[in-house]
Structure 1
Amino acid sequence: MNKNTMSGNEKCAYKAESKWKNGIEKKALIALCSFSLLSLSAFPSFAENANNNVESGTNNTVSGDANAWNLEDNSISFFEVPELVNHYSSIAEMEKDLISQSTKGMEGVKSAVKEQKADIVDALSDNISLLKDQRDNTEDKTVKEALGKEIAKLEKVKNSKKILPGLDSSLVEANYALTELAKTDKEMTKAEKKTEKSIRSQFLTGKALLSDAMQNLLFSYAQTENTRKMLEKRVSLMQRSLDKIRKEQSLGKATGNDVAAAELSLKSAEADLNKLRDGMDTMKRNIGLSLGWHMNTYQNITIESIPDFPREYLNGRNQETDYQAVLARNSEYGEILREKEKNITGWTEKKQKEREKSEEIRSAVEALWATVEEKALALKMAETNASLSQLKKDRAARMEAQGLISRVDAEGMELDALSSENAYENARLDYNQAVFRYEEAVKKGILSLE
């Protein structure tokens, strides 16, 4: 190994190992312990407003148990998104790389410690084996007893993790070395955990914002999916209409212009459907690439339906309590609180910024609350309209069968019913998204307004 090309951490480990092999155990241990202390102080402390789950690497969203998700399949469920971001997103990959690079030196020291411990333990084991052979080959009880005591001492030192009293001078250094190596290994493990914790805290906000963006994108995908279903039904309706007109033409009840108009309507509906499908594929690709899939695998993804939030979500909630929860979790407000006072005698810039931000957050919470109320009302209206349109469609179908209204009128009623059904599904998604955004504010401090 060329010492001139080593990093500082590698030089420390190499130096420690060399001194061990030259018999200077204490100096090597001091070097190892010094590296440990430097590692502990080289990284910033965990962010004050960090999530308590950072050590385990979890970042749970408003609902659902992270342990319930199968992150290895090709299915994406709404509440699974934060876990996918946490494990497979580009942010997660950056986090893993930084942790690996930052703990590489510590792993080198731990490896050196492990080797030195193995050398000492092997030497003690060899001595124990020799003494056991001598004990087994003698008939002198006094010698057997003495050898047995010596073997017991060696076994005790071999397994020691603390300084043992009353050892012979020949065993003191081995006991001390093993004890100090155990301490060094423990300190390295602590340093690794603290480093990982510190690094994870730096990525918390980015992961939370990406999760929020991806979950909001799933609402857009679901709305597009609703439109796709409506367009597929529209194409089916246009196809049935064309088939009827062609049959009527054969009976002399429709003209060539009627057929041409029906064919044009069908082609227009099919073109709209194909265009929407292309847009959905692009949207799925963006979702997949953001959550860990690749260009050659994203088409295998199945995106599950978004679960419904309670219709009476705001009942029993307290807006002031929720506002205080947002204050406690909002990262921008937290940054202001951590700023140093520049003037302790009067009204400071920090206090002004704190007041402005708190009022901004209050206004945002009020707006989110109002949006939930507005979307809840719109959902009720859309549900009513969808039910009425369905009744009108069913009635029109019966009247057409009895010859009381024309085919065109009946088809118009059916198209109205399709449109009303789609409007209801979109209103349901709008309501769920409004509740989700309110939850994101209260649970994570993320204020996402339309």
Structure 2
Amino acid sequence: MADPATSRGLDPDTLFADALSPYKRIVLAVSGGPDSMALMTLMARWVASGKALRGLSVDVATVDHGLRAQSSHEAEWVAGRAKAFGFSHTTLVWGGEKPGSAIQERAREARYALLVAHAGRLARTGPGGPVAVVTAHTADDQAETLIMRLGRGSGLDGLAGMAPSRRLLPDGSVQLVRPLLGLSKSDLADVLRESGEDWLDDPSNERIVFERVRLRRANAHLAALGLSNEKLVVSASRLLRARDAFEQLTAARLEALADLHGGAYASLDREAWRREPAELRVRMLARLLVAFGGNAKPAQLSQVEALEAVLARDKAVAQTLGGCIVSQGRTTLRLYREPGRSKIPELVLAPGEEALWDWRFRIKYETGEQQDEGEDTLGPVQVRPLGLQAYATLRGNLSPKDRPPARAADGLPAIWSGDRLIAVPSLSGWAESDGRFSAVFLGLDAA
């Protein structure tokens, strides 16, 4: 007899094969609630069927937020169920003092930060290729997201809802994948009932103070007004299609208009910029801010729109936003990292290692050939911003074409051994730069 779940379109191979084909290693985010337990159950069926990708490694991860006394026991319960399915399990603990307000938003931020850090470690030590963080977001979650963002005045990108996949790290080494967006919560509840699998109930799902709880309780009223989850999901999918088209057009226009100068700064001809439609100018500006803003807090859409309006005036401009300095002169618009506003972290790099630095560059430390006795041998080095003082000492040795503005050079990645400057990989014209080090700007593809 056919599996009733499969007959309703819940065939695990249909759900996972295409969505997870790029990955050799995945992290299943499982809280113990019904949706994530159904995700783990479906994943176990897929692996057991023999149709899963050959060599696929599955690690179940549970975030213990520490907000309720029983949270650690719940993580242990999920660990036991994961083991029963044949999966490894990791509990990620949100430590430290908890915020007194906006607790769900802060908890979500902490949850993703922990999942990304865990998946990033797996990416560095695994068989190569990106790692997928797989979540159990459903069509109902998509509809709720659309309503909530509509209430906040979101633009096209926000109203497009949750994408089936997106980058969690700008170098693409960790991706978020949502393979269940086409299913409802009731579909997933049926999977658990038919398999006899248990789940945990989160008491916060009954607290009316939370926005999603209020929306779920208003679901019948919204449906009576024609705002059913099914209709909202259709709208989100159409908006997503429109957003993807705009993103492709934005990328094409940026490629034509922007010179990225190896990641030192971006420059655009002011008149060519002004000839673009306002929506494209907003999108191009937003992507440049993300690409050059590093680990700074991203700018809000309203802030980007306000800056674009200022740039549209026939005046010189110098403003900061999203971790960047944006300046507009008579002929040129420039944008580059602002080191002082959002502290750029220092990174320690050992021979043979490579790492993501400030979400802008992938830095690599080549071991090279065996050095002769007496030659300079470096152990671990520090990667930190070049700084204005150091740039002033080497600027004169650069040709004009290799000489970025001082404030742009200030935030470039430099290799240091204590106070000694070893290399500035982004300054290709600096002859003294040590060739063992390279810095690849992640560029607009990471934005």
Q: Return the TM-score normalized by structure 2.
A: 0.25
* Greater fraction strand: 2
Q: Which has the higher contact order (CA 8 A, sep 6+)?
A: 1
Q: Return the TM-score normalized by structure 1.
A: 0.25
